[in-house]
Amino acid sequence: MNVIILPAYNEESSINHVLNTLDSTIKEHNGEFVIVICNDGSTDKTLEEIQKSSQILATPVHLIDHSYNRGLGETIRDLLEAAVLLADKDNDVIIRMDCDKTHNPKYIPELLKEIHKGFDVVTTSRFFKDGGQTGVTSIRRIISRFANLYMKLFFPIKGLREYTCGYRAYRSTIIKKALLVYGNDFLQLKEFGFTCTLEKIVKLNLVGASFSEIPFVLNYEMKTSKSKMVFSSTTLGYFILAILCYWPFGGWKFRNFKGMKET
């Protein structure tokens, strides 16, 4: 069973649209999917909206409910752990999306097609040919561009141009392998917000994952909720990530993760 995972925090204004559009896309392409959504301690009516929508969708919905806001890192960890239990076949795919309407489900068939070519991780990319972004302020564009340049410099990964977009497809077997190898440290920097988006691919690369991209247009003007990113903590997280990776006395780069047993 393929799994779509959705982290949700104060997405009352968009969650119904996201779930209904996902459901329509899945039915249109005759896909076998389950949706796993984590309400991360929302203070608005996100939880109630999820519960209402899940009763009428054709696609099964599994709900994880955090009683208080734990942050994106812990939310993604919980979602991935739930997803690997539901993805019971080797060719099953886990797709991570946002709940703010900026990640259009229309890209799901292309993500699946690319995974089935043999790649372990496929990301939607604004920097691939025919990709782009609309509704993004100039300062946010500059920050995003510099962030990607920083990541390319410190974490070069074959087949990857886009490092910060969380809209990705993962072969379930590569996530299972990463969880077996790293355990709870698969997402070690959980308290640094969006740093987990980068940490996942750095660690998947270290265990031998293959990467590809598809073109993606980020329509940021579709977003109706406030941005959850705290630039200061995320930037600090990126620097700490580089230190943990390249620290000469036991850094991730100097460990033989590929050689570790998977069982």
Per residue in 92-148, pLDDT (tens digit) is: 999 999 999 999 999 999 999 999 999 999 999 998 989 998 887 777 777 777 878
Task: Show Cβ contacts of residue 155 under 8 Å, excluding neighbours closer than 6 positions.
Answer: 163, 198, 201, 202, 205, 242, 245
Per the domain annotation, does 261 fall within a domain? no
Q: Say how far apart CA 46 and CA 63 lie, in whole Å.
A: 12
What CATH number is associated with residue 9? 3.90.550.10
Residue 110: phi and psi, rounded to 5, are -70, -40
| Mean of pLDDT over the chain | 91
Per the domain annotation, does 259 fall within a domain? no
Q: According to the model, what pLDDT value does residue 222 have?
A: 85
180-202 tens-digit pLDDT: 999 989 999 988 878 899 999 99
pLDDT confidence band for 36 (50 / 70 / 90): very high
Give the torsion through C-alpha atoms of 202, 142, 140, 129, to 10 deg: -70
pLDDT confidence band for 263 (50 / 70 / 90): very low
Per the domain annotation, does 142 fall within a domain? yes
Strand order in the sheet with 121-125: 61-66, 33-40, 2-8, 93-96, 168-171, 121-125, 211-215
Per the domain annotation, does 111 fall within a domain? yes
Which structural domain, as residue segments, surrounds residue 106?
A: 2-254
Q: How far is CA 3 from the centre of its chain?
A: 12
Q: For the whole model, what pTM was predicted? A: 0.92
Per the domain annotation, does 243 fall within a domain? yes
| Average pLDDT estimate for 49-57 | 95
| Average pLDDT estimate for 43-64 | 96
Q: According to the model, what pLDDT value does residue 225 have?
A: 72
Per the domain annotation, does 235 fall within a domain? yes
215-243 tens-digit pLDDT: 999 888 887 777 666 777 888 999 999 99
Per the domain annotation, does 6 fall within a domain? yes
| Average pLDDT estimate for 207-220 | 94
| Average pLDDT estimate for 36-61 | 96
Per the domain annotation, does 81 fall within a domain? yes
Q: What domain count does the chain have?
A: 1
